[in-house]
Amino acid sequence: MRIVRRRGWVGVQGSFRVLSSAPWHGGLRRALEVVNVQVPLSFDCGVRRFFRDLGPRFRRRECVGLLTSVDVTTAVVERRPEATALVTAGIGNSASVGTINSIVVLRGRPSVAAMVEAVKVVTEAKCAALRDLDVRARDRPATGTSTDAVVIATEDRGDPFNYCGPATPIGRSLGAAVGAAIKEGIRRQHGWTPDRPIRARLAERGWNDRELGESQLQECLREPLLWESAFALDDAALAGRILPGPPEGFARHLARCGRSPNWVPPVAASDGRSRPVRHPPRLPSPRSRGLESRKPAG
């Protein structure tokens, strides 16, 4: 297996058995080459016509082809003992998030069922990487993109295996390679890292500095743990794991109210409807009632 980088495309060459969701020659087949070709954002011509116009090399049946608008010079190669991942990752298309193409070459001789299971492992690794980076799709955590593609390839060398789940050594190796490649690809393409500033993450959620006064914003940014909690609560409320929060969301409520939020979380009533919590009145302290705590006699 050989990694190939050319102007406008990257790929792998070898003698492969391939299972893929590729737009060009996808499915289960034999291939000599898997390519990931860069196209403009305005791409609208047919896939068949596009690959045929690229030349005989791409036209042949033994070529499996992917398309991406991501700069292919940012492609990441992650090698592990049981698997190699070649990934381009972009998050510009917010129908979900962008285009993340993953080409994986497995060591050994996987069964077709193991190759299908590898697709699942790649998808799980992608979701975990996007979660770790806090990538958003509109107002929700992103799990992928509307144009993602996955290629699982093998040269059928080595021992046969029938399982490739995350509990197997090859599945763990595959997940680690894909997850690391996606994170690094997004860093190269967009400059995003898990520890990017809170202000940047607010902008990704559609905020702008005009929503808050600068002094209020600066005060809030000093409390990163509160923000992480607010972001997590917003996601939990959207997923229905907790009762709805403030109408504007926990994060915006935190920003507007600072450390003295006046929203009281609802609780579920017996009829299934949510009602505000009714806190008991605060009793005056013994000191305010003129009573002092005294040591018992004896």
Domain map of the chain by residue range?
2-190, 198-263
Counting beta carbons within 10 angstroms of the beta carbon of residue 77, is it exposed (0 to 12), middle (13 to 18) or buried (19 or more)? middle
Instruction: Report the distance separating Cα 110 and Cα 117, nearest Å.
Output: 10
β-partners of residue 151 are 20, 103
Owner of token pair 């998030």? 97
Q: Where are the beta strands (DSSP E) in the chain?
A: 2-6, 9-20, 27-38, 63-68, 76-79, 83-90, 99-106, 109-110, 136-137, 140-141, 149-154, 160-161, 266-268, 274-276
Is the distance from CB of 112 to CB of 28 less than 8 angstroms? yes
Residue type, 190: H
What's the pLDDT at 215? 60
DSSP string, 35-46: EEEE--TT--S-
The per-residue pLDDT for range 51-100, each reduced to its tens digit, is: 988 888 888 889 999 999 999 999 999 999 999 999 999 986 544 446 99
What's the pLDDT score for residue 62?
93
pLDDT at 216: 59
Residues sharing a CB contact under 8 Å with residue 185, sequence separation 6 or more, in sequence order: 70, 74, 75, 76, 87, 88, 89, 90, 100
As a whole number of angstroms, the distance between CA 24 and CA 266 comes to 52
The pLDDT of residue 24 is 95
**For the chain, how big is the Rg over CA atoms in Å?**
26
What is the predicted pLDDT for the residue at 132? 92
> pTM here?
0.78
For helices 214-221 and 250-257, what crossing angle results, to 10°?
110
pLDDT of residue 212: 58
Which residues are 4's β-sheet partners?
Answer: 11
* Per-residue pLDDT at 119: 97
User: Which residues does the chain have with pLDDT short of 50?
Assistant: 94-97, 259-263, 267-269, 274-289, 291-295, 298
| Spatial CB neighbours of 55, under 8 Å, sequence gap ≥ 6 | none
Residue 177: what are its φ and ψ, rounded to 5°?
A: -65, -45
Mapped onto helix, strand or coil, the DSSP state of residue 261 is: coil
| 112 CB-near residues (< 8 Å, 6+ apart) | 19, 28
Q: What token pair was written down for 101?
A: 């193409």
Rounded CA-CA distance 151/89 in Å is 14
Residue-by-residue DSSP string for 228-246: HHHHHHHHHHHHTSS----
pLDDT at 13: 96
The answer to whether the beta carbons of residues 161 and 170 sit under 8 Å apart is yes
User: Residue 138, Cβ neighbours under 10 Å: how many?
Assistant: 11
Query: Residue 124 in contact with residue 175, Cβ under 8 Å?
Result: yes
Neighbours of 267 (CB within 10 A): 11
Quick one: CATH architecture of 2-190?
Answer: 4-Layer Sandwich (3.60)
Rounded Cα gap, residues 84 and 99, in angstroms:
20
Give the integer Cα–Cα distance in Å for 126 and 88.
12
